[in-house]
Amino acid sequence: MSGQTLYDKLWNQHLVKQRDDGTALIYIDRQLLHEVTSPQAFEGLRLANRKPWRLDANLATPDHNVPTTIKERAEGNSGIKDPVSLIQVQTLDDNCLEYGIEEFKINDPRQGIVHVVGPEQGATLPGMTVVCGDSHTATHGAFGALAHGIGTSEVEHVMATQCLLAQKMKNMQVRVEGELGLGVTAKDVVLAIIGKIGTAGGTGYAIEFAGSAIASLSMEGRMTVCNMAIEAGARVGLIAVDDTTIDYLGKRPFAPTAEQWEAAVADWRNLVSDDDAQFDKVVTLQAEEIEPQVSWGTSPEMVTGISGQVPDPSAALDETVQRSHTRALEYMGLHANQKITDIKLDKIFIGSCTNSRIEDLREAAKVAKGKKVADSIKLAMVVPGSGLVKRQAEAEGLDKIFIEAGFEWREPGCSMCLAMNADKLGAGEHCASTSNRNFEGRQGYGGRTHLVSPAMAAAAAIAGHFVDVRSLPANDATHAQEA
């Protein structure tokens, strides 16, 4: 009998009941809640006169709708100018109060994007099952946790039963072997993976990211990679536990202490795929072949290296792809064979659950230090992922570097990743964005998103167009993997 994959182990540790019809009940250790996908779930509980099964499994924070300007945030909820957004945030507060769920409210220093807050607090631990009504929940898989995004009906189901109805996925391993070049980051790795396997390449699979280049990433980098598993179609992204994982978790507020810590660490060491584990699919990339990536289209798979060019739709073999590419170029205002470095930008967004952690801000600050944002850029903003990330960045003086360079330094939230608050693109504007989705209208009606790493976004802000971060003078070049 062959060994187990990491996913198999996590599944088996949480299997409450396997039903004959192929579905299973999986026990959920942690549910993260935010204001957008929870109100209807709470309403459902209330209507059915049900109570949450286990309060301490839940942790809530508002993130999607919160304003990021310092002045508005100082006013707390009343600083939310959009009345509909205000109701949503207020409803989360009311629901958490009514049911007794712990919440980091809008001006709590621990507030932030759920996928930054969970790990930062140690509320995400190896070996956990983690769910959230948000597709980027895959982020938490970086800790060897089985984490996936769910819909609102499932949020209600987990609240009421502490279980999720699930079907076991297939196992995929994506190996990235070798050493990443200077200036090539976790974001470039995951964009290159999506470019290779496509946005549906991981549908039906749990993807375990492995190989020497993945093992060399920091926890921040690993979270960036797992975060975008869903952009490859996989609800679940995973990375095995190692010293990097355990070192990150020590002394986090929700992490175990004393003897429990020792016992937990011993248990977590098993959260790796066995040597003889069988994967249904294995994909391998060579780290040395990955260059800084830039998306040119309206799907994350429409991506290429910085030295590349926009493809010619007529060169696509498949008619559906041809049509998608033609439509994408039309929407993006680009033409076939245009060089990526010729794409001019209007706005720059550094933030989101993909790239708003301290390491991301450090990488961007290295590039921005002593430089000025190009005059042609209408807005360049840096939005830290949480209040604690913001505080840390300020302690390191990163805020000053950004402000002196001409970036706006904001309060934490999802911000322009999906533009539910006031931060958005205007029609036709090109944005170098460290977020995760370049869909039509995602960052604002008619807005044009280019997905990049924090260093590439900062470099584009200075130049006014895309540049290869590796071509910058040596003292500025990002040393991503050193951070």
Partner 1 sequence: MKKFERFEGVVAPLDRANVDTDLIIPKQFLKSIKRTGFGVNLFDELRYLDEGQPGQDCSQRPLNPDFVLNQPRFKGAEVLLARRNFGCGSSREHAPWALEDFGFKVVIAPSFADIFYNNSFKNGILLITFPEDVIDRLFAEVDANEGYQLDVDLENQRVITPSGEILEFEVDEFRKHCLLEGLDDIGLTLKDEDAIRAFEQKHKAARPWLFRQSA
Contact positions with partner 1 (CB under 8 A) in 211-230: 230
| Tokens of residue 302, six digits | 């429409």
Contact positions with partner 1 (CB under 8 A) in 136-165: 137, 149-154, 156-157, 160-163, 165
> Which one-letter DSSP state was computed for residue 87?
H
Amino acid at 37: T
* Cα-to-chain-centroid distance, residue 463: 26
Select from 72, 36, 33, 22 the least CA-distant residue to 55: 33
CB of 462 vs partner 1, minimal distance in Å: 30
The answer to whether the beta carbons of residues 461 and 374 sit under 8 Å apart is: yes
Query: Judged by CB under 8 A, how many residues of this single chain contact partner 1?
Result: 85
When the beta carbons of 270 and 278 are compared against partner 1, the nearer one is 270
CB of 309 vs partner 1, minimal distance in Å: 22
Residues 94-133 vs partner 1: string with x where CB under 8 A? ------x-x----------------------x-xx----x
Q: According to the binding rule CB under 8 A, does residue 85 interact with partner 1?
A: yes
Contact positions with partner 1 (CB under 8 A) in 283-302: 299
CB of 116 vs partner 1, minimal distance in Å: 18
When the beta carbons of 14 and 362 are compared against partner 1, the nearer one is 14
Q: According to the binding rule CB under 8 A, does residue 260 interact with partner 1?
A: yes
3-class state of residue 425 by DSSP: coil
When the beta carbons of 40 and 341 are compared against partner 1, the nearer one is 40
Q: What DSSP string runs through 108-143?
A: STT-B-HHHHHHHHT-S-TT-EEEESSGGGGGGGGG
Contact positions with partner 1 (CB under 8 A) in 15-54: 16-17, 19, 21-23, 25, 27, 29, 36-37, 39-40, 43, 48, 50, 53-54
Contact positions with partner 1 (CB under 8 A) in 332-391: none
The span from the CA of 170 to the CA of 203, in Å, is: 9
In sequence order, what are the residues at sequence separation of 6 or more whose Cβ sits closer than 8 angstroms to the Cβ of residue 283? 172, 173, 174, 175, 193, 196, 197, 201
Place of tokens 């209600």: 156
Among 69, 107, 199, 244, binds partner 1 (CB under 8 A): 199
Q: What DSSP string runs through 263-310?
A: HHHHHHTT-S--TT---SEEEEEEGGG---EEE-SSSTTSEEETT-B-
Among 56, 179, 289, 394, binds partner 1 (CB under 8 A): 56
The span from the CA of 72 to the CA of 80, in Å, is: 7
